[in-house]
Structure 1
């Protein structure tokens, strides 16, 4: 079985075409990152690149497509619409597609109150085992074929102030995840656990307190070994830490549409275990 995993696609609107008052003070702060920091330039072709990845998912005959958050630059309505348009028909079918929110998708309290992410992607949060949901729709389960299941977790929270980009799963979702690992209906399946924040950096270390996944160790304790993989984004590096007896496989998808760093994972599952992955660059010749 094959899974395409991408992340941090950051569909970016023209912020200088937006009414300044409607942007709000949090996005005013972000304008420096868009301009001086070069983010707007780095993601000017993000929609086209995401559409290419979605198309290549079909060319790879992937069984499921996974996007682990940060669909938007700063949670504007038009950015969510742009992400959905870029994914095309793929996003219409929960059997073929899983999408979770990242911290940029809940960048403002207003985006969370209006459930902006859910209006565009909420149909993908329905669970095959709803009795295990503990925090809204999370954790949700999507069975894929006979050998695998995708588990979606929520780690993205509205930051107190811009610049604090850490996240946490929380004890309720972890309790639900533990129940999922013990569910006999999922026995013999590899579990691909999707969360936005990185449990380990590309250097194999915990991330900083203001940027990392706070309860990564608690997550590891529930899903050690080859049967499990954590698929994440947030850190704009693409890497794989193989599973050990103490932790699962970890696949960081990087920023799949960032100019000069475009790419995604093609992850292989066989015999109810995660057996590896290959990096791909969208648009590259085979």
Structure 2
């Protein structure tokens, strides 16, 4: 099976000020207050072009964006996000996008399917869950627990989880390398559990129980603005990958903003974080899992390279 280079981006958080009172009679007023109180200074939109150029330089086979492209789900934010990311979105066959909670920020934006209207060609279906093949026997299974809610917590509807089980069973014989795309992490590495707790996926235990049955997979997420690659104790067949927030200021210098480069070579997985120090790009190896996908059951296992 040929090598496959996937770039994982998340939490771009394109923002725009809005002062029209008629558009602030909902949760968006909270978002605007946060922007005025400092969020706008922390998310440096002028750097987005540099991020896109860095991704382009890698010539990825596919780009996966796991939500929060916007900040308050304004139509103008969606338009700005699409225009800024356009070089990465030239072909629906080469890019996949799923929403985050900020893309469903208000009931009106969710009811109006503003995310779908903006990024519909880069989704694998009209409703979640969906599964799309992005390379030979390599698929993305997308979930959407995001919702317009006063808190940042998500919840995966029971019907969506049941449909995901059915979808996987219908396709598993044709999939050797599975990437689950979901904005919400179901676990966080040591030191970040508290940050996830207040904006967690409320029924993460239910999703975890099912993921534990599907065999080796990558779980690409965002939501917590830290890049990571780790295997949750409850999911020994998972590599959980968070791309972080590429435009966020790194004030302490220990968590440079950027994105993940994921190379799949046969059954092997290698993950590199591309981070911006404020002066230059650096590359940090995050995970290397030789033979990771080759652990799938014999009847569907892939051949090792070479």
Summarize deviations over 1:104-155 as a string: whole Å, max 9, x none.
111111111221111111122234xxxxxxxx52111221221411111101
- The partner residue of 2:143 within 119, 135, 153 is 153
For 1:122 and 1:147, the matched residues in 2 are separated by 23
2:248 aligned residue: 258
More deviation, 168-177/105-114: 168-177
- Deviation, 1:34, is 1.4
1:55 aligned residue: 53
Contact residue 141 and residue 149 of structure 1 kept, 8 A: yes
Q: Which runs of 5+ in 2 are unaligned?
A: 251-255, 284-306
SS in 2 for 1:281: strand
Matched, 1:280 2:274: yes
- Deviation, 1:33, is 1.6
Summarize deviations over 1:165-213 as a string: whole Å, max 9, x none.
1112222222222233323565342111111111112327487664101
* CA 243–209 in structure 1, closer or farther in 2 if over 3 Å, else same: closer
The TM-score, its normalising length taken from structure 1, stands at 0.84
1:42 aligned residue: 42
Matched, 1:93 2:91: yes
Q: Within 5 Å, which residues of 2 pair with 1:63-212?
A: 63-127=61-125, 137-159=127-149, 161=150, 164-184=151-171, 187-203=174-190, 205=193, 210-212=198-200
- Deviation, 1:2, is 1.3
- Deviation, 1:25, is 3.8
* CA 185–210 in structure 1, closer or farther in 2 if over 3 Å, else same: closer
Summarize deviations over 1:240-272 as a string: whole Å, max 9, x none.
11376645110111212112242101112232x
For 1:22 and 1:32, the matched residues in 2 are separated by 13
SS in 2 for 1:212: coil
- The partner residue of 2:12 within 6, 9, 22 is 9
Contact residue 147 and residue 270 of structure 1 kept, 8 A: no
Summarize deviations over 1:16-36 as a string: whole Å, max 9, x none.
xx3233232422223332122
Matched, 1:240 2:241: no
Contact residue 242 and residue 250 of structure 1 kept, 8 A: yes
Larger Rg over CA atoms: 2
More deviation, 189-198/210-219: 210-219
* CA 58–108 in structure 1, closer or farther in 2 if over 3 Å, else same: same
SS in 2 for 1:275: strand
Q: Which runs of 5+ in 1 are unaligned?
A: 128-135
For 1:184 and 1:113, the matched residues in 2 are separated by 30
RMSD: 2.5
The TM-score, its normalising length taken from structure 2, stands at 0.79
More deviation, 192-201/225-234: 225-234
Contact residue 226 and residue 243 of structure 1 kept, 8 A: no
